[in-house]
């Protein structure tokens, strides 16, 4: 599944081509995504200017003159800016066609993505209103994690992957940040000191910022908006490296399941 850096990469790729443009039409070839696209969505967005583009967690938000167009890439979604005349492929389900000819094409082979229009502020939408802070913004800190973790028995890896605690820390980046902070992924969140959580907050920011700078992780189903794969996978320290040497100490990287997700860690470095 595309994680926060992949979504941020997509946002930065499409934003210059969409911001300020008029939506000519919304062409929906397959409305049956994770939530069906309402049949009146095209009528609601056509003729509106795209005032701004932003991201909240893994949701892309297109602020229109009236309402917000919300888009989620799901497990296998990707975006392209193409001439409207480009023939669609079998999984190209939606085109957002602009006034000057190009279109934003949404491709989603597994159809777990989402495209919905909301008249209310996006932050009030049921999918967004309970989300935690953005990990790259000032509200996210070790002090914040310490307050939220107080009394929690959940594994720290599960804790930081909870979108109501902090958004966008998916499985890959949780593994990487915990290794960088030298915290064992199964340690109870409520038993970690504020000082160590400060280190973890910094590690989360560092790992995500590095992934964004390098274009996102090359997952099997994700490519950038220009069709090229991301490159952060080349820099992964522990994820997917079971039995290989730890880059810190050389000990064997171990793998186990925590919260139904594969976890990679160094038992020698991470405590």
pLDDT single digits (tens) 49-102: 999 999 999 999 999 999 999 999 998 888 988 898 999 999 999 999 999 778
CA distance 55 to 95: 20
| Residue 91 assigned ligand-binding role | yes
Residue 29, strand partner residues: none
The CATH architecture that domain 4-124 belongs to is: Alpha-Beta Barrel (3.20)
pLDDT of residue 217: 59
Stated pTM of the model: 0.89
Domain with CATH 3.20.190.10 in the chain: 4-124
pLDDT tens sequence across 138-167: 999 999 999 999 999 999 999 999 999 999
The CATH architecture that domain 142-265 belongs to is: Orthogonal Bundle (1.10)
pLDDT of residue 221: 45
Contact 161, 170 (CB under 8 A): yes
Phi-psi domain of 266 (left: phi exceeds 0; alpha: psi -120 through 50; beta: other): beta
Q: Is 228 exposed, middle or buried (0-12, 13-18, 19+ CB in 10 A)?
A: exposed
pLDDT of residue 220: 46
| Residue 32 assigned ligand-binding role | no
The residues that are catalytic are: 2-3, 58, 261
Whether pLDDT at 227 is above 70: no
Domain with CATH 1.10.8.50 in the chain: 142-265
pLDDT of residue 213: 84
CA nearest neighbour of 50 among 62, 36, 32: 62
At 50, phi and psi to the nearest 5? -85, 110
Q: How far is CA 117 from CA 16, 69, 72, in A?
A: 21, 4, 12
Contact 253, 237 (CB under 8 A): no
| Mean pLDDT for the chain overall | 92
| Residue 17 assigned ligand-binding role | no
Give the sheet arrangement for strand 23-28, strand by strand.
23-28, 92-98, 102-107, 78-83
pLDDT tens sequence across 201-225: 999 999 999 988 887 654 444 445 5
> How many CB atoms neighbour CB 5 within 10 A?
25
Q: What is the mean pLDDT of residues 192-198?
A: 98
Contact 122, 61 (CB under 8 A): yes
Contacts of 83 (CB under 8 A, 6+ apart): 101, 102, 103
Contact 217, 159 (CB under 8 A): no
Q: How far is CA 8 from CA 46, 58, 132, 168, in A?
A: 25, 8, 17, 10
Residue 92, strand partner residues: 107
Q: What is the mean pLDDT of residues 46-51?
A: 97
Where would I find the beta strands (DSSP E) of 120-245? none
CA distance 162 to 140: 14
Whether pLDDT at 233 is above 70: no
> How many CB atoms neighbour CB 264 within 10 A?
23
Contact 237, 180 (CB under 8 A): yes
């Amino acid at each position: 599944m595309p994680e926060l850096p992949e979504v941020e990469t997509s946002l930065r790729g499409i934003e210059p081509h969409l911001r300020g443009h008029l939506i000519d039409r919304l062409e929906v070839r397959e409305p049956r995504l994770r939530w069906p696209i309402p049949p009146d969505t095209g009528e609601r967005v056509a003729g509106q200017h795209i005032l701004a583009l932003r991201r909240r967690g893994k949701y892309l938000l297109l602020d229109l003159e009236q309402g917000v167009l919300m888009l989620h890439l799901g497990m296998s979604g990707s975006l392209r800016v193409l001439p409207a005349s480009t023939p669609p492929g079998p999984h190209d389900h939606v085109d957002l066609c602009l006034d000057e000819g190009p279109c934003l094409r949404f491709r989603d082979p597994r159809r777990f993505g989402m495209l919905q229009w909301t008249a209310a502020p996006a932050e009030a939408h049921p999918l967004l209103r309970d989300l935690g802070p953005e990990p790259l913004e000032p509200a996210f800190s070790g002090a914040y994690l310490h307050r939220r973790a107080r009394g929690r028995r959940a594994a720290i890896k599960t804790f930081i992957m909870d979108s109501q605690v902090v958004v966008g820390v998916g499985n890959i980046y949780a593994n990487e940040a915990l290794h960088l902070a030298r915290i064992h992924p199964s340690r109870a969140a409520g038993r970690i000191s504020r000082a160590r959580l400060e280190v973890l907050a910094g590690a989360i920011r560092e790992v995500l910022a590095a992934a964004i700078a390098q274009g996102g992780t090359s997952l099997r189903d994700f490519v950038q908006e220009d069709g090229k794969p991301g490159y952060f996978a080349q820099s992964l320290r522990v994820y997917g490296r079971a039995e290989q040497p730890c880059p810190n100490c050389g000990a064997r990287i171990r793998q186990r399941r925590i919260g139904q997700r594969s976890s990679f860690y160094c038992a020698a470095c991470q405590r």
